[in-house]
Amino acid sequence: MASYSQAVLDQIRSAVDIVDLVGRYVRLRKAGQGWKGLCPFHAEKTPSFTVNPRKGIFHCFGCGVGGDAFGFVMRQDRLSFPEAVRQLARGAGIALPEERGGGDGGRREELLRVMALAARFYEEQLWRPVGARARAYLETRGVDPEVARRFGLGLAPEGWDTLLGVMKQEGVAEDAVVAAGLAIARDNRPGAYDRFRNRLLFTIRDLQGRPVAFGGRAFGDDEPKYLNSPETPLYTKGNLLYAADLAREAIQARNRALLVEGYVDCLMAHQHGFGETVAALGTAFTPAQLGLLRRYCDVAVLFFDADAAGRKAAERAEELLEPSGGGLAWAVNRAGALEGSGALRLRVALLPAGHDPDTFLRAEGAPAFEERIAAARSLLGYALDRAIADPGGATGPRARAGAFARAALMLAKVGDAEEAAALSREAAAKLGVDATQLWIEAQKLQASLRRPPASARPATPTSTPPPVERDLVHLLLHAEDARAALLPLLVEGEDLGHPPLRAIVAALRARPGAPAESLMTDLETEEARGVLAALLVEERPDLDVRVSIEQFQRRLERSLRLRRARGLSRGIAEAQAAGAGASVAEALRGLHQESAAVYGITGGTAQSLEHRTGESTRSGDA
Ligand SMILES: [Zn+2]
């Protein structure tokens, strides 16, 4: 399957931190030498998914999937192998052969440089005399200069080509400034003009803290009030969260994220000590953004104004619960929301009518804000309220029965068992029914809703490899000495009955000096990659390599000779049937030699050769 050279693949493999890569989708916790988490490829409640950073592989003991960084990306993002290679190479800043000399990688680097230059230029302007008006505005909004600097706030001065002039001095071509979204090409004549003019700029940075886009706020009555960078090769709307680079550590440390809507809300929250705050760059949160948060925490808190809260929260919750229509939960928890685990829990903190986090913090201060967060209620609770309320406002037994059914249906869709249990208690109290009764109904419905989610298909059901074969391949993978001693004796088609093990040995034979983990890209089937990963993660500290090699040497030699003996027996039978005396005698001599060797090897007594032959057939022809 490898169409890229091993050297390139090894280079990418060593540049990719598999813990970081997998950690974007799975919450990993340190466990011994490796990391553990809930498998993203099958639904489970206790973690059996492991990542081994030293070997650069992952493996799930639950469903058997496994592989290296390429395999993970292929499975997770449903990519072909070349696509996975390109994606990882891009992420690691490695130029692939077809791209060297001005391909995508180079372009991206160039745009990052343009954005960095622009961000520095804009930031400098804010603190110069020309920035007086912008600084005065920040002061009226109560933004500390220190916070403004930390967030890299800037000012785009007036004029049509101020930035273009700066870029020219830096030797940046006009088309690169346009490609970075900082200038706009003129319609009818050559040339371009600055996109941001006379605006306060909020720098949007990626997780590594590199500027990739800007949000520009107008002063006074200029329209539009907010002007953002267009999508560029560096910036895709909905993929980033504002201040995620600054908030990441606090989010991890506090195991929660605060999600606000505006840039200033975000700045003010940080200024008041809520360093775990990020802002959506747009009105709605996207699955990609929630997926990003899920890498770092279990809980995300949204803020709604009390007037709008019920409606907004219920709408958001319904999106979450509707797997069709690209519901959020499916993206957040790709193992399938229905029985999923490890999903991000969304909670809603209510602010008084007319308030947003910025105005509330300035009016009431941090402790009051913390109280609101502490009192936050599950987003799904709002959906529950809506489910219970009768659409026609009816009361009475029939309306109650309808409410019960709707509540049960909603609860059936909640992936997080703990949250579902809490919600069913809440619903039961409101409906005046027994919580257990509601729970049982929801469980029944869940079973009928459950269907195999597309992305949660476990590895193709694998027959378990026979232990002896498994031990042999394990030894070959872990000890280079074993390869030299045993590969010449081993006949895959005869000694190994398990197809994935055969494929692994064939790959090893093709590149006997390769580190075992690098064989991953040589294997054609996902099943084989899963088996290889399983063997690679299995440490056997007590294994005596020397002794094991000798044992397998004897075993393989014996089966080799048994096969020869079997062939000779067949030849004798045929010769006897044909009445050819001379060749029978010769064949018998050969058979005796082979048998003697076999007995010598096994140390056994001469017993029925047929019986032993039968034993070897089992592993040979399965
Ligand atoms: Zn699994």
pLDDT digits 0-9 by tens, 39-77: 988 888 889 999 988 888 999 988 888 999 999 988 887
Helix (H, G, I), strand (E, B) or coil at 541: coil
Q: Which two tokens stand for residue 92?
A: 């690691």
All structural domains of the chain, each given as residue ranges with its CATH number in brackets, are 6-92 (3.90.580.10), 104-228 (3.90.980.10), 241-384 (3.40.1360.10), 387-455 (no CATH), 467-621 (no CATH)
Query: Token pair of 10, please?
Result: 């090894």
231: left (phi over 0), alpha (psi -120 to 50) or beta: beta
The C-alpha atoms of residue 10 and residue 593 are separated, in whole angstroms, by: 48
Higher pLDDT, 480 or 291: 480
Cis peptide before 500 (omega within 30 of 0): no
Ligand 1 centre from 37 Cα, in Å?
10
What are the C-alpha distances in Å from 362 to residues 140, 176, 289, 353?
12, 41, 27, 15
Greater confidence (523 vs 440) lies with 523
CA of 71 to the centre of ligand 1 (A): 14
Q: What's residue 485's pLDDT? A: 92
Match 């809703």 to its residue by tokens: 449
Is residue 23 classed as helix, strand or coil in its secondary structure? helix
Beta strands in 358-441 (DSSP E): 377-378
Q: How far apart are CA 35 and CA 183, in angstroms?
A: 45
Burial class (CB within 10 angstroms; exposed 0-12, middle 13-18, buried 19+) of 413: buried
Neighbouring C-alpha atoms within 13 Å toward the C-beta of 468: 13
The owner of tokens 């909670």 is 347
Residue 81 φ then ψ, to 5°: -60, -50
pLDDT band at 599 (very low <50, low <70, confident <90, very high): low
* Ligand 1 geometric centre to CA of 525 (Å): 17
Going from the Cα of 66 to the center of ligand 1, the distance in angstroms, rounded, reads 9
pTM here is: 0.59
Q: pLDDT-derived band of residue 527, with 50, 70 and 90 as boundaries? A: confident
pLDDT value at position 600? 62
Q: Find tokens 């999508």 and name the residue.
A: 231
Q: How far apart are CA 196 and CA 203, in angstroms?
A: 12
Residue 414 structure tokens: 């909640």
Report, as an integer, the average pLDDT of 419-441. 82
Average pLDDT (599-620) is: 44
Q: Alpha carbon of 165 to those of 181, 374, 599: distances in Å?
A: 16, 51, 89
Q: What is the pLDDT of residues 1-36, one digit of tens each?
A: 446 887 788 888 878 888 888 988 888 888 887 889
**pLDDT tens string 320-344:** 665 433 333 332 333 333 223 346 7
Query: Whole-number mean pLDDT of the chain?
Result: 81
Structure tokens belonging to residue 169: 């001095």
CA of 314 to the centre of ligand 1 (A): 33
Q: Return the SS3 of 140.
A: helix
pLDDT of residue 301: 94
Mapping DSSP to helix (H, G, I), strand (E, B) and coil, where does residue 35 land? strand
Structure confidence at residue 306 as a pLDDT band (50, 70, 90): confident
Closest CA to 381 of 438, 314, 428, 444: 314
Q: How confident is the model at residue 614 (pLDDT cuts 50, 70, 90)?
A: very low
What's the pLDDT band for 584 if we cut at 50, 70, 90?
A: low
Ligand 1 centroid to Cα of residue 533, in Å, is 13
